[in-house]
Amino acid sequence: MKDPFQIAVLISGSGSNMLQLIENAWHYTVKLVISNNPEAGGLVLAQQAGIETKALSRADYPSLAEFKSAIFESTLEAGADLVCLAGFMMLVPEQYTKIFTGQMINIHPSLLPKFPGLDTHKRVIEGGEREHGCTVHFVDAGVDTGPIIAQAKLKVRPDSQADDLSREVLALEHKLYPWVVNSIARGWIRPTNGQVQIEPQAKLDAAAKGFIIPR
């Protein structure tokens, strides 16, 4: 492990999770922010924070496959210890999920394995769920299926609307994601043979902060 631990963040949009990762970088540094959308608002936020950014545009590549390769080759070139997907709206090609096994994580706005994919808040309400939340997981070849690291939960009120849940879950994401990345950077959380190994300090700290480590 290099010192300091370095992360690369991949974004597509507003970058509010990315900003939290930048502002709460206690045990790591943010080496690079990459976007598949040159218009992503998060790029400006990263630049304002003095972080190097790289934006790639679909229009510059003859095929989607080549565009994706360019994004993940740029990510590899960054040489970061960990890649954090933060509102990154592109499926990672299987070959890159293999290359980044144990070194790529994602935050998803549901209590996985419930509600993988899009429109989670609306589906939670339609499904009559009593609780909802967010999950940070290692990325594998499936959609939102990789080993779960930690979750944060909230209660769904009878009158909750999708917009309320979106706002409330995003606020939880902003706390959970930096905690997980700091915990990985300090060696509290490690991937081992497709499982997640959690040190006792991490379990205690997670419990104190109200985070859930499903085991």
Total binding residues toward ligand GRF, as defined by CB under 6 A: 14
DSSP-derived secondary structure letter, 21 = H
Which lies closer to ligand GRF via its Cβ, residue 172 or residue 196? 172
Chosen residue from 109, 146, 178, 191 binding ligand GRF by CB under 6 A: 109
> Which residues, including other chains, have CB under 8 Å from residue 61's CB and lie 6 or more apart?
67, 70
Cβ 20 to ligand GRF shortest distance, Å: 8
What is the DSSP secondary-structure string of 117-164? SS-HHHHHHHTT-SEEEEEEEE--SSSS-SPEEEEEEEEPPTT--HHH
Q: Is 13 near ligand GRF (CB under 6 A)?
A: yes
∠ CA 20-114-144, rounded to 5°:
55
Which lies closer to ligand GRF via its Cβ, residue 87 or residue 102? 87
Structure tokens at 32: 């690079």
Chosen residue from 34, 72, 82, 108 binding ligand GRF by CB under 6 A: 108
Using Cβ positions, the residue closest to ligand GRF within the complex turns out to be 87
Chosen residue from 7, 15, 53, 104 binding ligand GRF by CB under 6 A: 15
What span, in angstroms and rounded, lies between the C-alpha atoms of 70 and 203? 38
Cβ 193 to ligand GRF shortest distance, Å: 27
Q: Is 133 near ligand GRF (CB under 6 A)?
A: no
With contact defined as beta carbons under 8 Å apart, do 182 and 176 qualify? Answer: no
- Determine the interface stretch with ligand GRF among 31-39, 101-109, 157-165, 186-194 (rule: CB under 6 A): 101-109
Q: Is 152 near ligand GRF (CB under 6 A)?
A: no
Long-range contacts of 200-208 (CB under 8 A, 24+ apart): 205/179, 206/150, 206/179
With contact defined as beta carbons under 8 Å apart, do 39 and 53 qualify? Answer: no
Which lies closer to ligand GRF via its Cβ, residue 21 or residue 206? 21
What span, in angstroms and rounded, lies between the C-alpha atoms of 135 and 75? 23
Question: 121 catalytic, yes or no?
Answer: no
Q: Is 170 near ligand GRF (CB under 6 A)?
A: yes
Contacts with ligand GRF, residue ranges (CB under 6 A): 11, 13-18, 86-87, 107-109, 170, 173
- Give the catalytic positions in this structure: 108
